[in-house]
Amino acid sequence: NAGVMQNPRHLVRRRGQEARLRCSPMKGHSHVYWYRQLPEEGLKFMVYLQKENIIDESGMPKERFSAEFPKEGPSILRIQQVVRGDSAAYFCASSPTRMSSYEQYFGPGTRLTVT
Least distance (Å) between residue 50 CB and other proteins: 10
Query: Which of 91, 114 has the CB closer to other proteins?
Result: 91
CA–CA distances in Å: residue 93 to residues 3, 8, 17, 43, 85: 10, 15, 25, 12, 22
φ/ψ of residue 101, rounded to 5? -75, 135
Least distance (Å) between residue 82 CB and other proteins: 20
Query: Which of 33, 69 has the CB closer to other proteins?
Result: 33
CA–CA gap between residue 33 and residue 67 (Å, rounded): 10
User: Could you list the residues that contact other proteins (CB under 8 A)?
Assistant: 31, 33, 35, 41-45, 48, 55-56, 59, 89, 91, 93, 95, 99, 102-104, 106, 108-109, 111
Query: Which of 55, 83 has the CB closer to other proteins?
Result: 55
Q: Among candidates 34, 15, 36, which has minimal Cα distance to 104?
A: 34
Query: Which of 13, 31 has the CB closer to other proteins?
Result: 31
Least distance (Å) between residue 111 CB and other proteins: 8
Tell me the torsion sign for CA atoms 65, 82, 85, 108: positive
Least distance (Å) between residue 16 CB and other proteins: 27
